[in-house]
């Protein structure tokens, strides 16, 4: 049995310094009408009986025990998050006072991890709303990245081997190899690029020079504190205040730089490592991305009591308690909830935000 | 005030020999999923707060009082019909033991009208699932047709002036003028033609030689009995048995010719009169026909708690209790019910029967 498989079972080799900081503050409006403010994307059960958040926690077992899993979420959804994760100590749910993007959330997580584990503790930052087909493989990757983070004190971002030229993702250009941990090669990141054209993405995927940036990061508390001090000094000051007095959060929060960790830290730093990998990652960023993980039904993919399709193809149906009949339609997204119904052309899925924006004003009880 | 308007108010001129026989036995599967076996099209409230059946009865007031209105319906839906029409004496709801098309229903109605009013009584046979924009005008037409039926003893079918070359309707070729009653001309019908091609229908509409056959008939009991004796002798025998003993219905019913009045009587007879008219009649035969009578909503026509449409046009939406969002879709029918949801291309509306046929077998609780 190789060392890299030891994370699949209770094992004396499991590290006691690895923490998970799960980012669960997003609204996920691209999954309206199923997603709502108080029931965001990460709290939905789209692909299994468990919600995406519950799966995110579950797939860390046994590598990271519940006591070392922190969840950062918003005030409206905090109650729902606590209800979904009864195994987590209540103080492990960190509530951001207002949405300020991911960098402040990670800073908040870093202060808490430092308080518990000190500057050498390692944080794995994980989005709560992604799908991972191979949790075993993810744990092996995280274990290797933890070793690399401890050895190099670098910031590490997981690099997903691209399966197709997706133009909606961020890409990492792979640089020189820096070494191997857990049997895996770690490379410098040459450049971050958000949402390239399909042509450019196609070149990159064919050349094998780039990886998808999945928003999963591993670093020591010291490493992220140093990077924040360099690139987001306001946030670094706030972290110091917060470390001295946790009750200051509400006032200190507003002084943190409202930016993403990608833009605020990763793209500004010259010492980022990546580990090329493939844990079966999917962003599932919108209804149209679900086809890869939803079961087949007549007329396409989906979840419904039943689907009867006449001359209908490539539809995505989500109406768990209903029989859905499709007649002569194709490439539609059909989502039914108690109080709202969506019928959308797949090619226009990016327009859904206009619907949610209008309902925010006109019928806020529906968003 | 001309005589023809006297039917709009309580008036000593109202005839006491005019009965209505409302045909309410259809299943209306083309309105699935809203229509079900026990809640067929005529019991739906599609265009107003009242059901189509309730409107059919209401628009006869004051020309035909409730005591002289008979409704023929099926066993599954009889209870719903009674509940919708509490003003009718219970014995005015005639229950056909099994579906055998319209001729037996009219025979059954004729036996009952004869029992109450004798052979000179006049029956207006009216479908329960049509829309009439001008009830006043319909009553004036029925009054004129009653006069014509009494004077000529002919079978009279209302002829709707066609508004466009509909290829799904039956047409009447207008023949020689036979006279005028109630200020309206009555003509011989030269020929009945079901569902002509669009080209042929266009010629007819432009030439003004044809009318739509709306399935609304007026005749004396004697006239329809004579016609049935000539063209459907089995049915005539059954009527005699039934007149002698109403409790024989179940056994006698099966001996009646299972055919429509159009094919079994009207198309076989040489002495049919028609009165060209326009009471704002619409068949509303399927979801796609509702656009003419449904209110406008964003993205098309329909009934919903609200509709938010982004780049969507010409849709028909029926989801009275929900907010419906349409994104980048056109010419769709979207119908939401408690347990079933339909999304259908308007151009494929005729395929809906395949859905209902499959559900009849696979999920009969939904049909």
Two tokens, residue A299: 């007329």
Which residues of chain B from 348 to 367 reach within 8 Å of chain A, CB to CB? 348-349, 351-352, 354-355, 358-359, 362-363, 366
CA distance A39 to chain B (A): 18
CA distance A43 to chain B (A): 22
Phi/psi of residue B303, each to 5°?
-130, 125
Band of residue B8 on the pLDDT scale cut at 50, 70, 90: low
Two tokens, residue A344: 């959308």
Query: Look-up: residue for tokens 């005749």?
Result: B219
Helices B102-117 and B221-231 cross at an angle (nearest 10°) of: 140
Of the candidates A310, A344, A362, which has its C-beta nearest B351's C-beta?
A310
CB contact under 8 A, A327 and B348: yes
- B328 interface with A at CB cutoff 8 Å: yes
Contact assessment for residue B71 and residue B109, using Cβ atoms and an 8 Å cutoff: no
pLDDT digits (tens, 9 = 90+) for B216-257: 999 999 999 999 999 999 999 999 999 999 899 999 999 999
Report the distance separating Cα B95 and Cα B82, nearest Å.
11
Counting one residue from chain A and one from chain B, the pairs whose CB atoms sit within 8 A come to 131
Q: What is the reported pLDDT for B11?
A: 60
Report the distance separating Cα B251 and Cα B240, nearest Å.
13
pLDDT over 60 at A178, yes or no: yes
Report the distance separating Cα B68 and Cα A198, nearest Å.
73
- CATH fold group of domain B15-282: Spore Coat Polysaccharide Biosynthesis Protein SpsA; Chain A (3.90.550)
pLDDT over 70 at B84, yes or no: yes
CB contact under 8 A, A310 and B336: no
Band of residue B3 on the pLDDT scale cut at 50, 70, 90: very low
Query: At B58, which helix (H) or strand (E)?
Result: helix B52-58
Band of residue B102 on the pLDDT scale cut at 50, 70, 90: very high
Contacts of A235 (CB under 8 A, 6+ apart): A103, A104, A107, A228, A255, A256, A257, A264
B341: closest CA among A312, A322, A306?
A: A322
Q: What is the reported pLDDT for A47?
A: 79
Q: Which of A46-50, A203-207, B332-336 has the lowest mean pLDDT?
A: A46-50
Report the distance separating Cα B101 and Cα B82, nearest Å.
21
All CATH 3.90.550.10 domain ranges in chain B, comma separated: 15-282
Band of residue B34 on the pLDDT scale cut at 50, 70, 90: very high
Two tokens, residue A366: 């529906």
All CATH 3.90.550.10 domain ranges in chain A, comma separated: 3-282
Report the distance separating Cα A297 and Cα A358, nearest Å.
32
Contact assessment for residue B279 and residue B271, using Cβ atoms and an 8 Å cutoff: no
DSSP secondary structure letters along A85-100: -TTS-GGGEEE-SS--
Contact assessment for residue B272 and residue B173, using Cβ atoms and an 8 Å cutoff: no
Q: What is the reported pLDDT for B2?
A: 40
Q: pTM of the entire structure?
A: 0.82
Two tokens, residue B110: 């004729």
Report the distance separating Cα B312 and Cα B327, nearest Å.
6
CA A313 to chain CA mean position, Å: 30
Cα angle value B103/B109/B113 (rounded, 5°): 140
> What does each C-alpha distance from A183 to A4, A136, A174, A317 come to in angstroms?
7, 15, 18, 42
pLDDT over 70 at A319, yes or no: yes
Contact assessment for residue A300 and residue A291, using Cβ atoms and an 8 Å cutoff: yes
Contact assessment for residue A106 and residue A21, using Cβ atoms and an 8 Å cutoff: yes
B chain contacts of residue A328, beta-carbon cutoff 8 Å: 344-345, 347-348, 351
Report the distance separating Cα A97 and Cα A247, nearest Å.
12
The interface predicted TM-score (ipTM) is 0.82
The CATH number of the domain covering residues in A3-282? 3.90.550.10
Phi/psi of residue A349, each to 5°?
-60, -30
């Amino acid at each position: 049995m190789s060392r890299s498989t030891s994370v699949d079972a209770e094992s004396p080799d499991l590290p006691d310094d690895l923490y998970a900081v799960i980012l669960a503050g997003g609204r996920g409006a691209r999954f309206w009408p199923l997603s709502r403010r108080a029931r965001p994307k990460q709290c939905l059960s789209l692909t299994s009986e468990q919600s995406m958040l519950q799966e995110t926690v579950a797939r860390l077992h046994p590598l990271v025990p519940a006591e070392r899993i922190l969840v950062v979420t918003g005030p409206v959804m905090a109650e729902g998050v606590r209800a979904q994760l009864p195994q987590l100590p209540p103080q492990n749910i960190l509530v951001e006072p207002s949405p300020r993007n991911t960098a402040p959330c990670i800073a908040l997580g870093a202060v808490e991890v430092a308080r518990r584990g000190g500057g050498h503790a390692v944080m794995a930052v994980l989005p709560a709303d992604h799908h991972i087909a191979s949790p075993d493989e993810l744990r092996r990757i995280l274990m290797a990245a933890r070793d690399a983070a401890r050895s190099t004190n670098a910031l590490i971002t997981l690099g997903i081997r691209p399966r197709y030229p997706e133009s909606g993702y961020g890409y990492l250009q792979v640089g020189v190899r820096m070494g191997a941990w857990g049997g895996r090669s770690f490379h410098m990141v040459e450049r971050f690029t958000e949402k390239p054209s399909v042509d450019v993405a196609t070149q990159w995927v064919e050349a094998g020079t780039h990886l998808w940036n999945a928003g999963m990061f591993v670093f020591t508390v010291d490493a992220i504190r140093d990077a924040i001090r360099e690139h987001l000094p306001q946030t670094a000051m706030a972290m110091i205040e917060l470390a001295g007095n946790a009750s200051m959060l509400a006032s200190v929060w507003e002084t943190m730089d409202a930016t993403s960790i990608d833009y605020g830290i990763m793209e500004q730093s010259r010492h980022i490592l990546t580990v090329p990998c493939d844990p079966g990652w999917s962003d599932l960023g919108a209804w149209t991305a679900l086809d890869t993980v939803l079961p087949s039904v007549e007329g396409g993919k989906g979840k419904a009591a039943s689907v009867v399709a006449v001359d209908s193809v490539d539809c995505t149906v989500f109406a768990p308690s209903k029989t859905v009949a499709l007649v002569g339609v194709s490439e539609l997204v059909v989502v039914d909830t108690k109080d709202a119904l969506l019928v959308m052309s797949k090619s226009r899925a990016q327009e859904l935000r206009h619907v949610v924006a209008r309902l925010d004003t006109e019928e806020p009880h529906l968003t």
